[in-house]
């Protein structure tokens, strides 16, 4: 139970780009239900050891979330995660032509959210008093949909499918002197018991946004009681008819619940 008496129930679904090699999936996620923190990341395929980097970022965003609006705090946090990545990799098995690429490091997007107490006054309605603050930070193309009464009331940080046609910004595991170019998007949104929070990586996000734009929005609640195997079959079918990109695909569903 969260301190403000909101709770989270959750479901997770994952499917690798190549289902026969799930260990190559470069998506990562982490959740701490008690503290109401969730993170999702997508390793960029062109780098080396991106899977490890995505996991390091999601773990750290949940265990020790930084403040991206504080440059010094963010720089220190990122430096610590880079040290962790450097210690974790084993380059001994790399081919000679791969080793120069290691100097460029790994890259990953990152999106994390936290539900916090909402400041209220005696004049607020009962619904407002029961609500919480859904706060989030994102770099890259991980996406959040906030669903209320079956309809999406907020999209973050991506608003349209076309935005996902461009290469995303990403955090690098090696300091290449470009950190000043990083720009996080920030979310501060009221949420209420009964809301569903959808987090997904870019392939599924783009599919969802295209469905919305065509007038046939996804029924995200439909997945709540679906076995993961059935969800995977649905994604494979979407890949087969080219409705969704063939990429590592992750979906997290969180349902906001009130006091027991």
| Beta-bridge partners for 7 | 257
- Give the model confidence (pLDDT) of 98-113 as tens digits: 777 778 889 999 999 9
Angle at Cα 44 formed by Cα 41 and Cα 49, nearest 5°? Answer: 90
Strands 107-117 and 27-32 turn out to be: unpaired
Q: Is the pLDDT of residue 126 over 60?
A: no
User: 218, 147 in Cβ contact below 8 A?
Assistant: no
- Domain at 7-257, CATH class: alpha beta
- Residue 125's pLDDT is 46
Per residue in 7-38, pLDDT tens?
Answer: 889 999 999 999 999 999 999 999 999 999 99
Question: Residue 194 in 3-state DSSP?
Answer: coil
φ, ψ of residue 17 in degrees (nearest 5):
-55, -45
pLDDT digits (tens, 9 = 90+) for 72-99: 999 999 999 999 999 988 877 777 677 7
């Amino acid at each position: 139970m969260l301190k403000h008496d909101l709770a989270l129930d959750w479901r997770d679904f994952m499917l690798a780009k190549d289902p026969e090699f799930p260990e190559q999936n470069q998506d990562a996620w982490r959740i701490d239900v008690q503290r109401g923190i969730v993170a999702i990341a997508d390793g960029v395929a062109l780098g080396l050891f991106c899977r490890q980097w995505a996991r390091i970022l999601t773990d750290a965003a949940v265990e020790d979330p930084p403040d991206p609006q504080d440059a010094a705090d963010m720089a220190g946090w990122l430096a610590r995660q880079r040290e962790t990545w450097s210690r974790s990799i084993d380059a001994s098995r790399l081919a000679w032509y791969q080793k120069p690429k290691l100097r460029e490091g790994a890259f990953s997007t990152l999106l994390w959210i936290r539900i916090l107490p909402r400041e209220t006054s005696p004049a607020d309605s009962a619904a407002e008093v029961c609500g919480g603050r859904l706060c989030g930070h994102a770099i890259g193309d991980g996406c959040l949909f906030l669903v209320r009464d079956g309809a999406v009331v907020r999209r973050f940080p991506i608003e349209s499918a076309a935005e996902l046609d461009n290469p995303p910004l990403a955090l690098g595991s090696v300091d290449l002197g470009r950190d000043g170019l990083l720009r996080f998007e920030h979310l501060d949104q009221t949420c209420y018991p009964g809301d569903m929070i959808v987090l997904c990586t870019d392939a599924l996000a783009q599919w969802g946004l295209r469905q919305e734009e065509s007038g046939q929005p996804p029924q995200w609640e439909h997945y709540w009681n679906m076995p993961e195997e059935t969800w995977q079959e649905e994604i494979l079918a979407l890949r087969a008819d080219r409705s969704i990109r063939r990429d590592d695909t992750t979906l997290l569903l969180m349902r906001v619940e009130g006091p027991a």
